[in-house]
Amino acid sequence: MKLKKITVTGGAGYIGSLATRALLDRGYEVQVIDNLSRGHQWAVDKRAAFSKCDLLDRALLSKSLKSFQPEAVIHFAALIQVNESVNQPELYLRNNFEGSRNLLECMKENSISKIVFSSTAAVYGTPESIPIEEGEPLAPVNPYGESKAKTEQLLQHYCQNHQFAGTAFRYFNVAGAHPDGTLGEAHEPETHLIPKILEAARRGEPVKVFGNNYPTPDGTCVRDYVHVMDLVDAHLLALEHQISRKFEAFNLGSERGFSVLEVIRATEKVVGQKIAIEMNERRAGDPPVLIAQSTKATRILGWVRKYPDLSTMIEHALQWHRSCFKTRA
Ligand code: UDP
CA end-to-end span of the chain: 46
Cα–ligand 1 centroid distance for 11 (angstroms): 24
54-82 confidence digits (pLDDT tens): 999 999 999 999 999 999 999 999 999 99
Say whether both 142 and 289 belong to one domain: no
Residues with CB under 6 A from ligand 1: 82, 173, 191-193, 196, 207-210, 221, 223, 260, 283, 286
Task: Tally the domains of the chain.
Answer: 2
Residue 328 CB neighbours (<10 A): 9
The residue among 235, 252, 269 that closes a domain is 252
pLDDT at 324: 82
Please indicate, yes or no, if residue 318 is contained in any of the structural domains. yes
Say whether both 243 and 260 belong to one domain: no
Q: What is the CATH number of the domain that holds 34?
A: 3.40.50.720
Say whether both 168 and 25 belong to one domain: yes
Band the pLDDT of 329: cuts 50, 70, 90.
Answer: very low
The residue among 204, 234, 252 that closes a domain is 252
Angle at which helix 310-328 crosses helix 193-203, to 10 degrees, equals 60
Please indicate, yes or no, if residue 181 is contained in any of the structural domains. no
Residue 133: DSSP 8-state: P
Which residues are catalytic, by number?
144
Q: What is the CATH number of the domain that holds 283?
A: 3.90.25.10
The number of residues in the chain equals 329
Nearest protein Cα to ligand 1, atom 20: 192
Please indicate, yes or no, if residue 180 is contained in any of the structural domains. no
Nearest protein Cα to ligand 1, atom 4: 193
Residue 292: DSSP 8-state: B
Predicted TM-score (pTM) of this structure: 0.96
Domain span including residue 146: 5-175+226-252
Say whether both 219 and 156 belong to one domain: no
For 33, phi then psi, to 5°, come to: -115, 125
Cα–ligand 1 centroid distance for 323 (angstroms): 23
Q: Is 32 within 8 Å of 18 (Cβ atoms)?
A: no
Say whether both 157 and 286 belong to one domain: no
Say whether both 243 and 95 belong to one domain: yes
Band the pLDDT of 188: cuts 50, 70, 90.
Answer: confident
Please indicate, yes or no, if residue 185 is contained in any of the structural domains. no
244-254 confidence digits (pLDDT tens): 669 999 999 99
